[in-house]
Amino acid sequence: MLGEFLKEGEAPKVEGAALGLACPIIGNRCTLTNLGWVVDGEGLKKRFGLKKLSLINDLEALGRGVGLLGKADFMALQEGAAGPGNAALIAAGTGLGEAILVREAGGFRPSASEGGHTDFGPRNALEIELLQYLIPRYGHVSYERIVSGPGLANIYEFLLAKNKRKTPERLRARMEAEGAPPGISEEAMNGADGDCKEALALFVSIYGAEAGNLALKALSVAGVYVGGGIAPKILEALKTGGFLEAFRDKGRFRDFMAGIPVRVILNDRAGLMGAASYAAHLAGERAERITGGKGA
């Protein structure tokens, strides 16, 4: 992909690049978690004749993009009152990414993590059953096995097995054509299928619970940002479902959690903007060149 871009006749001269990847970056090298591909930043730099090339975690890229967005790029789930401290970022898509946005002079510094791969912690009898259903399949059951596109499909399959039902033929055909996660979420949002509604409700609740876990670990008094490709597609479920109830349900810290701003990132280019901003930094340029001078 990078090679094709650089071969284009109208492509500008590129001296530095930053690539956001869904994997832990060690020594400018990584293995993509859900694909198994090995990406070597130094090798790419030499191959394409670049002065600088840095691999960064995709959530670090998204975190850098947050500060470049405007008010219209967010939707508030919980207004709260932002305090002078850290923020947190959680993003469900094909996987589950998490990052802490560490407060520094002039803004936030994103600190990437692999928090999506921590052990899933069930909160009630139904979630214990879900865990027991998934253990034979995966062995180690992380939050990513549940709070992601494939995770939504896992929840749906669990509920079908629990309720001793099968996928309706109409829905099966749609899932084969569009993929299971979008089929399930859209059927749930329009109320066409009860099992899909139950699956999305459980998904949203567990998503909110893990967002709350991250907020406590990061002490994110400045807010929690919900990114990724799924959230903008299920906004009504996030607003009216159990996301915030699960987010706040932290025992003695319930009131504290109710005061944290929670916002969904609506701009699907935020991660790209963050990576571009970091690449501009590598090249010694200003982020305004990337965003046209517009920021939050």
Residue 60 region, left (φ>0) first, then alpha (ψ -120 to 50), else beta? Answer: alpha
Mean pLDDT (whole number) for 257-273? 97
- Radius of gyration of the CA atoms of the chain, in A: 20
- For residue 105, report the phi and psi dihedrals to the nearest 5 degrees: -60, 125
- Using one digit for the tens of pLDDT, what is the confidence trace for 4-51? 666 665 656 777 788 888 777 888 887 887 777 888 777 787 787 777
- In this structure, CATH architecture of domain 70-266: 3-Layer(aba) Sandwich (3.40)
Domain ranges of the chain: 1-59+270-296, 70-266
CB 200 within 8 A of CB 180: no
Short-list 12, 66, 15, CA closest to 285: 15
Beta-carbon contacts of residue 153 (< 8 Å; ≥ 6 apart) = 180, 181, 184
pLDDT at 293 over 50: no
pLDDT for res 5: 60
b/e sequence 143-169, b meaning 16+ C-beta within 10 Å: bbbbbbbebbbbbbbbbeeeeeeebee
The yes or no reply on domain 1-59+270-296 and CATH 3.30.420.40 is yes
Helix, strand, or coil (residue 124): coil
Which residues on neighbouring strands pair with residue 20, listed in sequence order? 56
Residue 47 or residue 243, greater confidence: 243
Q: How confident is the model at residue 119 (pLDDT cuts 50, 70, 90)?
A: very high
Residue 11 or residue 84, greater confidence: 84
pTM of the model: 0.89
Neighbours of 109 (CB within 10 A): 15
CB 162 within 8 A of CB 132: no
- Using one digit for the tens of pLDDT, what is the confidence trace for 163-209? 999 999 989 998 998 899 999 999 999 888 999 999 999 999 999 99
Where is 16: in which H helix or E strand?
strand 16-21
